[in-house]
Structure 1
């Protein structure tokens, strides 16, 4: 049984009593008996239990505990974090604007991760320079700068291009996810009908549930790509807590309340020290139960909803049925594509070789520069190291675009965008064509004519087509009107001319 639903303490063992109408003494039920109940029933339903004085009180449901709990550190908008913390952690907020010149910005820069490498290179260059100056000249011919520099340039170019390709692929898949979510939500909300009477209320609530599942797919995919296997996150629990999934059965409170990082570990991760970095898959490896595949299971529930709409006659159009099924397949393609980007990084042999090539070149630089630069060898080596190792670090930074680094994709922002757009779609009933077409402020030939829909409806079809021809003839004047450079007098002149010609 999970930590949030453990058995009562031993001194409260007789928590439940049963009796008959004859007034027989209640029979105490041991707390161990309650602990042996089915875990799913204990967590996801709210049976009544007795308090210390024997009164029946409803036990909070597991969903209530998840939604009301604020122990999770995975808030959707990170309002609990300070400005300084948000500055040094990612992903970068797209709506924030900085007036600092680009070369002076630190937010998103790899400079913090370059501090230790630059200190190492500076110490090494100082050692070589001092030995060459006071003991024995270690300088060599700088022909190696040309030969090795070409090889290093090719290696870094390959590293950067492959890493950016993965970053761009991740963005394309999330753009496809947003587009498909819009299309599927519109098909469900507009093209799926609602029956009469009480069934209409059921259809409306099912529509809303399906819209929540569309959002839940995006949020669950975000957490899966970040190796967060639980469902008790603030932005996910209320969307999928009612579904029978493996992730729900494997819920572990410790997964969403990890131990706080020590100062040394947090500093090491910020400086890019590999020994301080944790295994990103540690929560998945520590799970004691099957985690399943939450995004895929959400798709299964969405598919079941589409089938139910076809069965009860609320989605009758074959075209819309095909579109809904196609969009479900597209969501599955997005799921597979993002997993491909996540699980197929640059082969380890390439990564290791490129890193070794870059470091060998940087460490050999002081030997090649000393004869020409003398003491300037030290800062020159550090500048060269910043350029070469910095490019290699950028490739490593953006190789996984779904993480929590500053330069990773802002998946939280994308999920908020989908949630906001679904709210916009569901804010009003499906539009009625007769309502918005015949309104008096529907200027069907604007800006050529200020007449309304009803006024043009009273004219003949030939008059409408003649006006459309006149609209082409007056296109130059209308273009300036649309751009806002002409006054209303010009609009009236063209409108009068159109009426006369018609």
Structure 2
């Protein structure tokens, strides 16, 4: 995620970050401008055709396309914001579980095990959502060595299983009462609820037909626009059509990027930083 000062207008206007849509669409912008110039030459110099009221149709279609893109962007941002709320819940629940364990349990070895497991769960969830699951990155202990995590299909579940096992052992040896077990269960359950909610976002993209329809409409809108625009604007239609292509394609690119907010793109959620925050907080509380 890119960190920036939203009040620094001039720097933001003239900055060209590697994720900026202008960089990504620049070849297309140049291509559209050249295409518009070619259409102008053919209409004015070769075919010598004239059209009347050529802007009306594109004005109407542009209004409809704008509504579609607004809905598309809002849907993508809603997924991004829901993902941020879920990871905020990860932060709160990790702290709450660590604080409760610290208050209830007196055995420092048990506290250390929970510190390791809570941090491991967040790391496993982060890597799982980024398709980078690697058990070798998890912290190990004598009770849960690397071999425990080696054979897995869903790494967060393996870590959650260990936390539930620890709680059950504490209950069986009398270190937890029934009330305290219920007291801890809320946070334990929330971990699985959160990863399930993230998976729902990640594995449920915008419907294919809707996605491809918008791209087709943008393509048809932009590549038919020069036919009429050159009659009114002559060669000035080249920067005008290129600008419109940049605006519409950029909106679609931004929506594509933020609809899956758990990756490594510049506009994705800072889940790496969130993991480091959780790890530091839990370690401070329990170790």
Question: TM-score, normalised on structure 2?
Answer: 0.91
Secondary structure of 2:212 counterpart: helix
Given that 2:65 and 2:217 are in contact with CA atoms closer than 8 Å, whether structure 1 keeps it comes out as yes
Q: In the alignment, which residue of structure 2 is the partner of 1:300?
A: 161
Q: In the alignment, which residue of structure 2 is the partner of 1:205?
A: 109
Q: In the alignment, which residue of structure 1 is the partner of 2:254?
A: 394
Report Cα offsets for 1:33-61 as digits up to 9, x if no partner. xxxxxxxxxxxxxxxxxxxxxxxxxxxxx
What 5-or-longer segments of structure 2 have no aligned partner?
Answer: none
Partners in 2 of 1:232 and 1:97 — Cα distance?
Answer: 37
Pairing 1:303-314 to 2, within 5 Å after superposition = 303-314=164-175
1:116, distance to aligned residue in structure 2 (A): 2.1
How many pairs were matched up? Answer: 281
Which of 9, 16, 34 aligns to 1:123? It is 34
> Higher relative contact order at CA 8 Å, sep ≥6: structure 1 or structure 2?
2
1:137, distance to aligned residue in structure 2 (A): 4.0
Partners in 1 of 2:44 and 2:111 — Cα distance?
Answer: 79
Q: In the alignment, which residue of structure 2 is the partner of 1:248?
A: 150
Q: In the alignment, which residue of structure 2 is the partner of 1:178?
A: 91
Secondary structure of 1:135 counterpart: helix
Q: In the alignment, which residue of structure 2 is the partner of 1:410?
A: 270
Secondary structure of 1:232 counterpart: helix
- Whether 2:100 is the aligned partner of 1:187: answer yes
- Whether 2:7 is the aligned partner of 1:106: answer no
Report Cα offsets for 1:357-389 as digits up to 9, x if no partner. 111111111112111110100011111111111
Partners in 2 of 1:120 and 1:157 — Cα distance?
Answer: 26
Q: In the alignment, which residue of structure 1 is the partner of 2:127?
A: 223
More helix by share: 2
Partners in 2 of 1:419 and 1:138 — Cα distance?
Answer: 69
Tell which deviates more after alignment, 108-117 or 132-141: 132-141
Q: In the alignment, which residue of structure 2 is the partner of 1:322?
A: 182
Partners in 1 of 2:13 and 2:50 — Cα distance?
Answer: 34
**Which of the two has higher C-alpha Rg?**
1
TM-aligned CA distance change 1:138 to 1:223, over 3 Å: farther
Partners in 2 of 1:243 and 1:231 — Cα distance?
Answer: 7
Given that 2:116 and 2:140 are in contact with CA atoms closer than 8 Å, whether structure 1 keeps it comes out as no
Partners in 2 of 1:189 and 1:404 — Cα distance?
Answer: 34
Q: In the alignment, which residue of structure 1 is the partner of 2:43?
A: 132
TM-aligned CA distance change 1:129 to 1:330, over 3 Å: same
Q: In the alignment, which residue of structure 1 is the partner of 2:74?
A: 161
Question: TM-score, normalised on structure 1?
Answer: 0.53
TM-aligned CA distance change 1:137 to 1:336, over 3 Å: farther
TM-aligned CA distance change 1:311 to 1:158, over 3 Å: same
Q: In the alignment, which residue of structure 2 is the partner of 1:380?
A: 240
- Whether 2:148 is the aligned partner of 1:148: answer no
RMSD of aligned alpha carbons:
2.1
Given that 1:139 and 1:367 are in contact with CA atoms closer than 8 Å, whether structure 2 keeps it comes out as no
Partners in 1 of 2:139 and 2:282 — Cα distance?
Answer: 18
TM-aligned CA distance change 1:138 to 1:122, over 3 Å: farther
Partners in 1 of 2:100 and 2:216 — Cα distance?
Answer: 53
What 5-or-longer segments of structure 1 have no aligned partner?
Answer: 1-90, 195-202, 250-290, 428-502
1:213, distance to aligned residue in structure 2 (A): 0.6
Pairing 1:89-104 to 2, within 5 Å after superposition = 91-92=1-2, 94=3, 101-104=11-14
Given that 2:79 and 2:201 are in contact with CA atoms closer than 8 Å, whether structure 1 keeps it comes out as yes
Which of 189, 196, 203 aligns to 1:343? It is 203
Report Cα offsets for 1:8-41 as digits up to 9, x if no partner. xxxxxxxxxxxxxxxxxxxxxxxxxxxxxxxxxx
Partners in 2 of 1:112 and 1:414 — Cα distance?
Answer: 29
Report Cα offsets for 1:301-341 as digits up to 9, x if no partner. 0001111112222223x443212111111111101000000
Given that 1:241 and 1:248 are in contact with CA atoms closer than 8 Å, whether structure 2 keeps it comes out as no
Partners in 2 of 1:351 and 1:137 — Cα distance?
Answer: 38
